[in-house]
Amino acid sequence: MRAFSGRSPGLVTGVVLVLLCGCGAAEASLPSREAPTPAPVPVVASTNVYGDVVQQVGGDRVKVVSIISEPAQDPHEYEADTRNQLELSRAKIVVENGGGYDDFIGEMLRGANNSSAEVITAVEVSGRVTDDGEYNEHVWYDLPTMGRLAERVAEALAKAAPADADAFHKNATAFKEDLETVRTAEARIEKEHGGTAVVVTEPVPLYMVEACGLRNVTPLDFSEAVEEGDEASARVLRETLALFADGEAEALVLNEQTPSSQTERVERAARDNGVPVVPVTETLPPDQHYVAWMTGNVDALGHALGT
C-alpha cells in the first residue's frame, strides 16, 4: 500500500478559500480614513473692524484675534500684553491700519520675532496717501478701500491655504457686493443733500461724510485737537459752537468713543439749536459685522438730514 506524503488537494483549496474570505472580511471591517482637516490660518488684526473683514473672507478657515475689540480701548494708547504678543508670534497674516493709528502692531511684531508673517496695511491698500504725505488715516470709513482690502486678504489667505483659494476669493466678492448697497445709500444722500454743511468732532467719519457729498465746516484746529486728546483754544471752541447758533451746520457727527468736556459742549450746542446729532464709533460695536455697522451709520446720517 502506498503511503500519502502530502495533504489532499481538496483540503488545501478549502483552507486557501477560508483564508481569502477571512482577509476580505478583515479588510471590509477596517474603518475608512479621511484626510485630517487642516488647521485654520492664524490671523491677527489690530482692531475688530479689520478682524471682522478677515472673518468674512476667511470663514471657518481662519482663526482671527483682534487686539482692539472694546469701545473703551484706544489704539493710540494701547500697551501690549503677553497673550496678544503670543498670538502675533504665531500669526501667518497680520492686518493693521497703519498711518500712525496702530503703531503698536509693528512694535509687537518685532518683539514677537515673527518676520515671516505677511503684513497687510490698510492705508497702503487705500491709495489715499498723497505725494506730500497728507491724508486721513481712518480709512475703514472709506468703502472702496475696504473692498480692496478684502481682495488683498483673500490673496494672502490663498497663499497660506491654497486648497481654499476659490472660497476666499468668492467670499471677498460677496463682501464687495454687500458694500455696494452701502455706497448706493451714500449716493442717495449726495443726490438729495449734496453740499449740506456738517460738523465732525474729529476726522474719523470724514470719508463717509465726503462720500455722501456733504461739506465739512468744522474748524480744523478743533477736530485735530480732539483727535490728539487735547483741548482746542477758547477762540476755536467759540467758532465751532457758533456754527450751530448761526444755523450754518445742519448735523453733528460725533465720535462717541472719545468724549471730552469740549465735545460735550459742542453736542449740547447742537441739541439746543435743534441740530441732529449722529453718533459714530471707531471700533465695531458688539455683535455687529462691518457692512451692517456702516449701513447703520449711513442710514443714521441720511435720517438726520431728512432722507
CATH number at residue 115: 3.40.50.1980
* Residue that terminates a domain, selected from 146, 180, 214: 180
Q: Quick: pLDDT tens for 54-83.
A: 999 999 999 999 999 877 677 767 777 888
Residue among 255, 290, 291 at smallest CA distance from 51: 290
Domain of residue 245, residue span: 194-305
Q: Which residues contact 12 (CB under 8 A, 6 or more apart)?
A: none
How many structural domains is the chain composed of?
2
Residues 175 and 199 in one domain: no
pLDDT value of position 34: 66
Q: Which residues contact 179 (CB under 8 A, 6 or more apart)?
A: 143, 146, 147, 291, 294
pLDDT value of position 279: 97
C-alpha cell at 105: 502692531
C-alpha cell at 237: 471752541
In a domain, 33, yes or no: no
Three-state DSSP class for 250? coil
Residue ranges of the chain with pLDDT lower than 50? Answer: 1-28
- Report the predicted TM-score, pTM, of the whole model to 2 decimal places: 0.87
Residues 162 and 204 in one domain: no
- Say what angle helices 290-305 and 165-193 make with each other, to 10 degrees: 0
pLDDT value of position 131: 75
C-alpha cell at 249: 451746520
Residues 79 and 160 in one domain: yes
Q: Is 97 exposed, middle or buried (0-12, 13-18, 19+ CB in 10 A)?
A: buried
pLDDT value of position 307: 82
Backbone angles phi, psi at 253, to 5 degrees: -100, 115
Interatomic CA distance for residues 97 and 76, integer angstroms = 12
In a domain, 156, yes or no: yes
C-alpha cell at 131: 505725494
Residue among 93, 100, 55 at smallest CA distance from 78: 100
In a domain, 200, yes or no: yes
In a domain, 214, yes or no: yes
Residues 169 and 106 in one domain: yes
Residues 82 and 143 in one domain: yes
pLDDT value of position 30: 53
Residues 55 and 175 in one domain: yes
Interatomic CA distance for residues 201 and 281, integer angstroms = 11
Buried-exposed string 218-252: b where 16+ CB fall within 10 A, e elsewhere: bbebbbebbbeeeebeeebbebbbebbeeeebbbb
CB 178 within 8 A of CB 290: no
Residue among 215, 202, 151, 210 at smallest CA distance from 183: 210
pLDDT value of position 165: 98
pLDDT value of position 11: 41
Residues 159 and 216 in one domain: no
Residues 139 and 205 in one domain: no
Q: Which amino acid would we find at residue 261? A: S
Residues 60 and 150 in one domain: yes
pLDDT value of position 276: 98
In a domain, 220, yes or no: yes
Residue among 222, 283, 231 at smallest CA distance from 78: 283
In a domain, 34, yes or no: no
